[in-house]
Structure 1
């Protein structure tokens, strides 16, 4: 394609991206949105589709400056999708851990907690900084922090592949696969304020530093004390990752340890190999490993999590088998199935993972045409997948949620390897079907994967989980609710009230509030459905129902746990009085009926 044509195509792409942002910004959320996808203007999605189509096409066929512009266009487009809660002026996003993280941020600001007292203060500290320097609210500061930490993922993945291969085609494929956001699996890793997930997007910074350290060995790059600047970047990046979340720091240490072991084995057994010319990573492994141990050793939260894992390994009633069976049964009852949900959430990951797995195997069998230097890095990352997968198995038996967090890290490495693997695959296909044909096939394949990948980046009814949008009305309702000081317990309609106590009062300041349902703040399902509203919690408590709860229990779950008739019944129950009400929040004072 000629330069003039590329200029026009790129101009159309960037114009479409600008239109997408302006349309989304011009249509802010005015109330609770069960699906951020459906609520975002159709014009925004059409404009983003144009931008992505241009980005994929230019990234695949162009080289040099034009390919770089194509990557910038696509990376900015996917960042726009990630930033939709900010662009569309959401008050907040996330109702589980995200609200507790908001509470910790407020604790930092109030002085009730200091950053070093929290195991992973990185995101909260960044939000605090944005609040103090930019004047944004703590909740918006966290939403912005999510976007800021995401950006390194789409920037450094193609940079890693460029250093590993020096192949522009592989760089282009790696950039496009990074737009799929494969580390987010919606089981235990999420797009939002979730520090373990946020840490995944910072991992490529450390991996890039490791790759650059082994590849760029010019004396001119040495610091005055004899250290490589990339060594400093590895240590500083690793420390930053530790502050965002230690679990992902452990995984980086494992990768470094594997690289060290491969280097050690190569030096003992080989006489001529590129690995022999790579500077060793022994010191990096030791320093980051020591840093991790020092940071977590005195933290009670880490000790409890570790003990919980050990207990889970030996307890028969803990593990993923029973949980999967239960969820499969629930999905069937609401008209879905595990097969359908797997296809929506994991089909793209499975296909890309299969391609990468076969590529690594073929490379080790000598069936690929990679140069020896690139093969060395494929070996580093490929061998690292074995202990990382072994850790997944341990987590799967002990604490299933942690297992799927481990999958998130594995898919950071798979995203990097996918660039090399797909470049090789479609390069091979260019023989029988010509280069333009292979590029066209690649564009269709990648476009389809991108659509499905971005459809599940946020929760929505598409995957049987409404968007966790926290509105002004809902937050205002809870603020008024927690102002009451009569000591009654709070109980929510299917979703726990306790997390809102964290988000509004701070985690340290929420201790004086009492929550029903063993401290989580939920009504007893059986008693509520039997309309025995006043028989629980000594006959005196506050019952809360929000628009999110109704959408979740009635529309998405199709009355699987709670029925609409039971919810309506509380309005006519003699012992219930509505004490707070707005468009999205209702709270009743419930007592035993006379």
Structure 2
């Protein structure tokens, strides 16, 4: 490809990206959006698609400076897609854990909670720093935090592959696979304010420190106590990961232990191998494990979660099998299927996982051209997947949500391996057809997977999960409802417990919260509600019923009235026991009198 052509393509790509960002910024959200994809103007997606197409082409077809610029273009475009809630001026995003994290952040700012009292204060602390330094609201600061913590994933995945293989093709493929954002599965890992998911994007930084340590054999520049700069790098990056979320830290400890185990076996069984020349990971494994143990065992929240997970393993009908059956039945009732949902959500991940797995097997069988040094790193990651997979199985039986969090970590490693695997796959194809032909096939292949990956970065009706956009009206409605409601009257929602909004608005520590006032919250009974028994739909007592635009979209449009129908919602208007006390475009609250 001619230099002038490449320069022109990159110029067009960066210009398209800039236009897309400006167009998104010029069209902010004005109401609740069930899908950030559908609500974002089509011109933005045309611009982003053009930028990504040119990024893929230059990343695969060029080398040197032009390849680096192509990877930068792709990374910036994907970051822009991840930044859409910020670019389009969302007040907040996330109605579950995200609101609780917002509440903890408010508690820290208000002095009611110290950062170290949380087991994972990293996200909250960074959000507070952005809040004070940038002079922006806490809600927006946390949205920006999501983007800041995402960036290391796009940067360090190709850096790891460069250090492992040194081949530009593998680096390019690794960059493109990282753009697919495979660790996000929208089951238990999400692109939002979710510290466990946010920690996943920092894992490549620690893995890069591992690779840097193992690949440098020089003993110069030793620090006190026999430490090397690369050992210090491992410890510092691990500490950052630990304070963002310990669950991903224990996975890193397992990976370090697997590497140490391979080294121990190699030193006992082999006489000549690159592993024998690499510094050992024994001390690092012990230190990282000690960090995790000291930090977590002192925290009651972690101990409780660990006990619940162990109990879940032994309780009948608790596990992923029962949950999958239940969700499969619900999907069938609204005309969907698990097979359809799997294709949309996991086809790209499944293909990448198969490619990476077969490549690891080929390396172990000696069927690749990978040199022995690079093959040792593939072995480290491949062996590391075995205990990580065992942990997944334990979670799968006991706590399904944790199982899919584990899948998120596994896909960090598979993303790295896939970059090397795809380079070998299409490198071999270039021996069968021409190199330009192989590059074209590769671009179409990874481009299709890239579309699938980016289409599910955020929740949307496409995966039967409407977006969790929180508008000003919704916050205002909940704030008024909590402030002016009768103290001892509970708040109930349609399939959603309102207590999370109490967390987001008031924090978790203050006495003015619902928790502090011991006021109950919950969900109305769908059977009673559908029967028109609004008074008896919540334990037969007086209560406040909250109905938001999100609830209506989820229950009527997405779930197709599976639990609550449009007719039953409309029946509230003429119900003598239901008094509408708060109403705006996004929020309605009814005071429901019991029939007693």
TM-score grouping bracket, smaller chain normalisation: over 0.9
Question: Structure 2 CA distance, aligned partners of 1:200 and 1:422?
Answer: 22
Q: 1:514 to 1:568 in 2, by over 3 A?
A: farther
Partner of 2:499: 498
Give how far 1:218 is off.
Answer: 3.5
Give how far 1:163 is off.
Answer: 0.2
Pairing 1:499-538 to 2, within 5 Å after superposition: 499-509=500-510, 512-513=513-514, 519-535=520-536, 536-538=538-540
Partner of 1:564: 566
Question: Which structure 1 residue ranges, 5 or more long, are not aligned?
Answer: none
SS at match of 1:509: coil
Question: Structure 1 CA distance, aligned partners of 2:594 and 2:429?
Answer: 73
Partner of 2:94: 94
Give how far 1:368 is off.
Answer: 0.6
Question: Structure 2 CA distance, aligned partners of 1:381 and 1:138?
Answer: 38
Cα displacement string for residues 140-194 of structure 1 (whole angstroms, at most 9, x for unaligned residues): 1110100000000000000000000001100000000000000001111000011
Question: Structure 2 CA distance, aligned partners of 1:486 and 1:249?
Answer: 42
SS at match of 2:588: strand
Give how far 1:229 is off.
Answer: 1.8
What is the aligned length?
A: 594
Q: Contact 2:506–2:512 (CA<8 Å) still a contact in 1?
A: no
Cα displacement string for residues 218-249 of structure 1 (whole angstroms, at most 9, x for unaligned residues): 35554476532221111011011010100000
Partner of 1:27: 27
Question: Structure 2 CA distance, aligned partners of 1:365 and 1:122?
Answer: 42
Question: Structure 2 CA distance, aligned partners of 1:60 and 1:282?
Answer: 38
Question: Structure 2 CA distance, aligned partners of 1:526 and 1:330?
Answer: 16
Q: 1:96 to 1:276 in 2, by over 3 A?
A: same
Q: Contact 2:203–2:241 (CA<8 Å) still a contact in 1?
A: yes
Q: 1:195 to 1:510 in 2, by over 3 A?
A: farther
Partner of 2:319: 319
Question: Structure 1 CA distance, aligned partners of 2:411 and 2:480?
Answer: 43
Give how far 1:198 is off.
Answer: 0.5
SS at match of 1:456: coil
Give how far 1:2 is off.
Answer: 1.7
Question: Structure 2 CA distance, aligned partners of 1:365 and 1:8?
Answer: 44
Give how far 1:539 is off.
Answer: 3.1
Pairing 1:181-260 to 2, within 5 Å after superposition: 181-219=181-219, 222-223=222-223, 226-260=226-260
Partner of 1:265: 265
Partner of 1:353: 353
Partner of 1:391: 391
Question: Structure 1 CA distance, aligned partners of 2:71 and 2:329?
Answer: 43
Cα displacement string for residues 241-285 of structure 1 (whole angstroms, at most 9, x for unaligned residues): 010100000000000001111111111111111001100111111
Give how far 1:520 is off.
Answer: 4.9
Q: 1:25 to 1:306 in 2, by over 3 A?
A: same
Q: Contact 1:502–1:510 (CA<8 Å) still a contact in 2?
A: no
Pairing 1:443-454 to 2, within 5 Å after superposition: 443-454=443-454
Question: Structure 2 CA distance, aligned partners of 1:292 and 1:439?
Answer: 44
Normalising to structure 2: TM-score of the pair? 0.97
Partner of 2:488: 487
Instruction: Work out which of the residue numbers 551, 554, 559 in structure 2 matches 1:552.
Output: 554
Q: 1:591 to 1:50 in 2, by over 3 A?
A: same
Question: Which structure 2 residue ranges, 5 or more long, are not aligned?
Answer: none
Q: 1:317 to 1:519 in 2, by over 3 A?
A: farther
Does 2:304 match 1:304? yes
Give how far 1:524 is off.
Answer: 1.4
Give how far 1:519 is off.
Answer: 5.0
Partner of 1:424: 424
Give how far 1:131 is off.
Answer: 1.2
Partner of 1:539: 541
Calculate the aligned-residue CA RMSD, in Å: 1.6
Question: Structure 2 CA distance, aligned partners of 1:426 and 1:565?
Answer: 56
SS at match of 1:483: helix
Normalising to structure 1: TM-score of the pair? 0.98
SS at match of 1:574: coil
Q: Contact 1:488–1:514 (CA<8 Å) still a contact in 2?
A: no
Partner of 1:50: 50
Question: Structure 2 CA distance, aligned partners of 1:553 and 1:317?
Answer: 27
Question: Structure 1 CA distance, aligned partners of 2:41 and 2:355?
Answer: 35
SS at match of 2:210: helix
Q: Contact 2:514–2:520 (CA<8 Å) still a contact in 1?
A: no
Pairing 1:100-179 to 2, within 5 Å after superposition: 100-179=100-179
Partner of 2:409: 409
Give how far 1:510 is off.
Answer: 6.9
Does 2:576 match 1:588? no
Q: 1:255 to 1:519 in 2, by over 3 A?
A: farther
Question: Structure 2 CA distance, aligned partners of 1:330 and 1:492?
Answer: 20
Q: Contact 1:35–1:466 (CA<8 Å) still a contact in 2?
A: yes
Question: Structure 2 CA distance, aligned partners of 1:98 and 1:284?
Answer: 33
Q: Contact 1:501–1:510 (CA<8 Å) still a contact in 2?
A: no
Q: 1:155 to 1:510 in 2, by over 3 A?
A: farther
- 568-577 vs 77-86, which deviates more? 568-577
SS at match of 2:390: helix
SS at match of 1:558: coil
SS at match of 1:577: strand
Give how far 1:388 is off.
Answer: 0.3
Q: Contact 1:61–1:439 (CA<8 Å) still a contact in 2?
A: yes
Question: Structure 2 CA distance, aligned partners of 1:539 and 1:472?
Answer: 30
Partner of 2:577: 575
Cα displacement string for residues 526-545 of structure 1 (whole angstroms, at most 9, x for unaligned residues): 11111111123453111110
- 339-348 vs 213-222, which deviates more? 213-222
Question: Structure 1 CA distance, aligned partners of 2:36 and 2:583?
Answer: 25
Question: Structure 1 CA distance, aligned partners of 2:337 and 2:218?
Answer: 56
SS at match of 1:508: coil
Q: 1:247 to 1:180 in 2, by over 3 A?
A: same
Structure 1 stretches of 4+ with a deviation exceeding 4 A read 219-226
Q: Contact 2:502–2:513 (CA<8 Å) still a contact in 1?
A: no
Question: Structure 1 CA distance, aligned partners of 2:400 and 2:474?
Answer: 31
Question: Structure 2 CA distance, aligned partners of 1:62 and 1:551?
Answer: 46
Question: Structure 2 CA distance, aligned partners of 1:250 and 1:199?
Answer: 12
Partner of 1:343: 343
Partner of 1:468: 468
Question: Structure 2 CA distance, aligned partners of 1:456 and 1:506?
Answer: 30
Question: Structure 1 CA distance, aligned partners of 2:149 and 2:46?
Answer: 26
Q: Contact 1:487–1:513 (CA<8 Å) still a contact in 2?
A: no
